[in-house]
Amino acid sequence: MLMRASWWKIIGVLLLLYTFSWGFFVPVPHIGNLYETIRNLFFHVPMWFTQLTLISISLYYAIKFLRNPQPQYDLYSNAFAQVGILFGMLGLVTGAIWANYTWGSPWNNDPKQLGAAIALLIYLAYFVLRNSMTDLDKRSRVAAVYNIFAYFIYVPMIMILPRLTESLHPGGKGVEGNPGLNGADLDPAMRLVFWPAVIGWILLGVWISTLVIRYKNLEEQKINA
């Protein structure tokens, strides 16, 4: 079973060790007032990649549950959403720290910050909704439907809307941010750390989710026993 296999966890750990070592040594370009904080690209940005991956997996199981209502799918969907929100919150907090020293204040009402905050609140409502229902069958179905709704609000909130307005983040309209960090323009030396970092963080996120799934499974067994 892939969940209990260790090879992908080892890959994840190796990639993260690489990120945390070479990420601090790799020569970085000098852009604006970023200085060394440009290295946050290896830590802050993968939080969002991981979150997006985890909630996408959560969406996949939500749809799977609606097509074939097995309690196992609902449990997966819930666990992945939970860990996804954890990574989203870490992304928001680390973003605020970074912003404090480069944009001058932790909260700048930047469209991406606002979008991410709203999107996180929408996902928090998912857990409120879940836990407010006692009927297990109804809870799973309503949660799955809400999950799909939340996902398709979330993606425009952090990926489309910030690109349509001016943003401090790279990639906004009339970029005031740091275009050097935009995908294709990213410094080649940094790209060699960035993408392994993204994969490493995603694997860690999936690993943590599988631990949550395993403990929730145990919980179920105990209740049923």
Which residues of the chain form contacts with another protein (CB under 8 A)?
20, 24, 34-37, 39-40, 43-44, 47, 83, 86, 89-90, 93-94, 97-98, 100-102, 204, 208, 211-212, 215, 218-219, 222
* Least Cβ distance, residue 7 to another protein (angstroms): 21
Q: Which is nearer to another protein, 36 or 135 (CB)?
A: 36
* Least Cβ distance, residue 152 to another protein (angstroms): 26
User: How long a stretch of residues is the chain?
Assistant: 225
Q: How would DSSP label each residue in 14-72? A: HHHHHHHHHHHHS-----TT-GGGGGGGGTHHHHHHHHHHHHHHHHHHHHHHHHS--HH
Q: Which is nearer to another protein, 45 or 144 (CB)?
A: 45
- On whether the CB atoms of residues 208 and 47 are closer than 8 A, the answer is no
Residues contacting residue 8 through CB under 8 Å, at least 6 positions apart: 2, 203, 206
Q: Which is nearer to another protein, 79 or 144 (CB)?
A: 79
Q: Which is nearer to another protein, 43 or 149 (CB)?
A: 43
* Least Cβ distance, residue 111 to another protein (angstroms): 21
* Least Cβ distance, residue 42 to another protein (angstroms): 9
Burial environment of residue 126 by CB neighbours within 10 A (0 to 12, 13 to 18, 19 or more): buried
